[in-house]
Structure 1
Amino acid sequence: MDFELNDEQKLFRETLRDFADKEIAPVAPEWERTGRYPTEIVARLRELGLFGLNVPEEYGGLGADRVSYVLAFEEVARAWLGAAGLFGPHSVACVLIARHGTAAQKERYLPRMATGELRSGICLTEPGAGTDLQGIATTAVRDGDHYVVTGAKTWITNARVAGVLPVLVKTGRAERAHEGMSVLLVDTSSPGFTVTRDLPKLGYKGPETCELVLDEVRVPVADLLGGEEGRGLQQVLGGLEIGRINIAARAVGVAQAAYEAALGYSREREAFGRPISNFQAIQLKLADMATEIQAARLLTYWAADRAEKTGGRVDMEAGMAKMYASEAAIRCALESMRIHGGYGYSAEFVVERLYRDAPLMAIGEGTNDVQRLVIAKALVSGGGRLGW
Structure 2
Amino acid sequence: MTFDLTPEQDQLRDAVRALGRRYGHGYFVEKAKAGEHTTELWAEAGRLGYLGVNIPTEYGGGGGGITELAIVCEELAAAGCPLLLLVVSPAIAATVINRHGTEEQRKRHLPGLADGSQKIVFAITEPEAGSNFHRLGTVARRDGGDWVLNGRKCYISGVDEAGHVLVVARTEDSSTGKLKPALFLVPTDAAGLTRSKLDMEIVSPENQFLLYLDDVRVPADALLG
Equivalence for 2:17: 17
Equivalence for 2:102: 102
The answer to whether structure 1 residue 78 and structure 2 residue 78 are counterparts is yes
Equivalence for 1:55: 55
Superposed structure 1 runs of 4+ greater than 4 Å apart: 173-177
Give RMSD over aligned pairs.
2.1
Q: CA deviation at 1:50?
A: 2.9
Q: Give the letter aligned to residue 195 of structure 1.
A: R
CA–CA distance in 2 between the matches of 1:215 and 1:52? 33
Equivalence for 2:214: 215
Q: CA deviation at 1:201?
A: 2.2
Q: Give the letter aligned to residue 152 of structure 2.
A: A
TM-score for the superposition, normalised by structure 1: 0.54
Q: CA deviation at 1:189?
A: 1.9
CA–CA distance in 2 between the matches of 1:191 and 1:160? 15
TM-score for the superposition, normalised by structure 2: 0.90
Q: CA deviation at 1:217?
A: 1.0
SS at match of 1:183: strand
Q: Percent identity?
A: 33
Q: CA deviation at 1:149?
A: 0.8
CA–CA distance in 2 between the matches of 1:27 and 1:18? 15
CA–CA distance in 1 between the matches of 2:9 and 2:177? 43
- Cα distance change, pair 6–162 in 1 and its aligned pair in 2 (3 A): same
- Cα distance change, pair 122–204 in 1 and its aligned pair in 2 (3 A): farther
Q: CA deviation at 1:2?
A: 4.3
On the 8 A contact 1:76/1:84 being kept in 2, the answer is yes
Q: Which runs of 5+ in 2 are unaligned?
A: none
Equivalence for 1:276: none
Equivalence for 1:120: 120
Equivalence for 2:7: 7
On the 8 A contact 1:183/1:224 being kept in 2, the answer is yes
Structure with bigger helix share is: 1
Q: Which structure has the larger Rg?
A: 1
SS at match of 1:189: coil
Q: Give the letter aligned to residue 218 of structure 1.
A: R
CA–CA distance in 1 between the matches of 2:130 and 2:53? 27
Equivalence for 1:160: 160
Q: Which runs of 5+ in 1 are unaligned?
A: 227-388
CA–CA distance in 2 between the matches of 1:117 and 1:30? 23
Q: Give the letter aligned to residue 215 of structure 1.
A: D
SS at match of 2:51: helix
On the 8 A contact 1:166/1:186 being kept in 2, the answer is yes
CA–CA distance in 1 between the matches of 2:129 and 2:49? 34
Q: CA deviation at 1:3?
A: 4.4
Q: Give the letter aligned to residue 222 of structure 2.
A: D
Equivalence for 1:90: 89
On the 8 A contact 1:24/1:41 being kept in 2, the answer is no
CA–CA distance in 2 between the matches of 1:70 and 1:139? 33
On the 8 A contact 2:73/2:86 being kept in 1, the answer is no
- Cα distance change, pair 156–50 in 1 and its aligned pair in 2 (3 A): farther
Equivalence for 2:45: 45
On the 8 A contact 2:47/2:116 being kept in 1, the answer is no
SS at match of 1:35: coil
On the 8 A contact 2:150/2:213 being kept in 1, the answer is yes
On the 8 A contact 2:89/2:120 being kept in 1, the answer is yes
Q: Which string of whole-angstrom CA distances, capped at 9 and with x for unpartnered residues, describes residues 176-228 of structure 1?
A: 96x5221111111211111222x2223361111111111111111112111xx
Equivalence for 2:144: 144
CA–CA distance in 2 between the matches of 1:196 and 1:223? 23
SS at match of 1:72: helix
CA–CA distance in 2 between the matches of 1:3 and 1:170? 38
Equivalence for 1:196: 196
- Cα distance change, pair 192–39 in 1 and its aligned pair in 2 (3 A): same
- Cα distance change, pair 25–60 in 1 and its aligned pair in 2 (3 A): same
CA–CA distance in 2 between the matches of 1:77 and 1:127? 29
CA–CA distance in 2 between the matches of 1:25 and 1:164? 29
On the 8 A contact 1:50/1:87 being kept in 2, the answer is no
User: RCO (CA 8 Å, sep 6+): is it higher in 1 or 2?
Assistant: 2
CA–CA distance in 2 between the matches of 1:49 and 1:126? 34
- Cα distance change, pair 131–185 in 1 and its aligned pair in 2 (3 A): closer
